[in-house]
Structure 1
């Protein structure tokens, strides 16, 4: 049975397109480490910071060796400079989000330098809900056409 081969996006390798081969590959340690490394690239920086600050630094990484556990390692693979950079990214994101929210909702300053919201804008009559009691004044009994 010739045919197409299967490509694993996480491991970046080709294999025989057979269900047993794919299941064995998916259950393998190398595939799971490659998948964890791939998913780690798209993780939220705040989540990475909270997970990595609890961990102690990995001795293999600090000695400029490669850790075979990858992101499954129970020790941190991030240096303090990298964690500071991630914190900078999180702070910038929060600052931009706050600025965006300030643009959306108009705020004013009072004398005590605290923010308060402006009073709600009155709704035009065409957008107000229908008051059926006011409609009794109109004549619906007129003949059409």
Structure 2
């Protein structure tokens, strides 16, 4: 049996010869699959620029679906979607400018910060109770028991 060509975009294999490969690489299904693959890695600025040049899809606005899907030459984004995308692009640009200026921007989200804050506050609260315990003549609650202390 001869060599076989496997197309990663289409998840398909066929006999590898010049005619079959050329026919496949110029085929509609392959070009569509290849475009979908590369669209996954486009940045928000490129998507925003493309979507702003398109007119809204009337069929999508009326029914919520379009027969052409991602191949539609009209935009399926609402005004709110475009605003969110624009805000994302502006945020990415600000972050890029700050990094170029040399400002140290810590990675992370608000959720990470809140989680760290909650841990810090709970640790401070437990330390406070240890300190209060030692004031009343008891050993600190965070200290391990010694051999001289009575466990009861």
Normalising by structure 1, what TM-score?
0.57
RMSD: 2.4
**Whose strand proportion is higher, 1 or 2?**
1
Higher relative contact order (CA closer than 8 Å, sequence separation 6+): 1
* Aligned residue in 2 for 1:16: 15
Cα displacement (A) at 1:82 = 3.5
CA drift of 1:67 comes to: 3.5
Structure-2 separation of matches of 1:59 and 1:44: 26
Structure-2 separation of matches of 1:44 and 1:31: 23
Q: How does 1:63-142 map to 2 (within 5 A)?
A: 63-68=63-68, 70-71=70-71, 73-103=72-102
Partner residue in 2 for 1:56:
55
Instruction: Count matched residues.
Output: 102
Q: CA deviation at 1:23?
A: 0.8
Higher helix share: 2
1:82-140 CA-to-partner distances (Å, cap 9, x unmatched) read: 33332232122111112213326xxxxxxxxxxxxxxxxxxxxxxxxxxxxxxxxxxxx
Unaligned residue ranges in structure 2 (runs of 5+): 104-152
The structure 1 segments of at least 4 consecutive aligned residues displaced by more than 4 Å after TM superposition are: none
Contact 1:11/1:31 (CA < 8 Å) preserved in 2? Answer: yes
Aligned equivalents of 2:5 and 2:60: distance in 1?
Answer: 33
Give the Cα–Cα distance (whole angstroms) in 1 for the partners of residues 67 and 96 of structure 2. Answer: 37
Instruction: Give the Cα separation in 1 of the matches to 2:59 and 2:8.
Output: 27
TM-score normalized with structure 2 length: 0.54
What is the rounded CA distance, in whole Å, between the counterparts of 1:8 and 1:81 in structure 2? 38
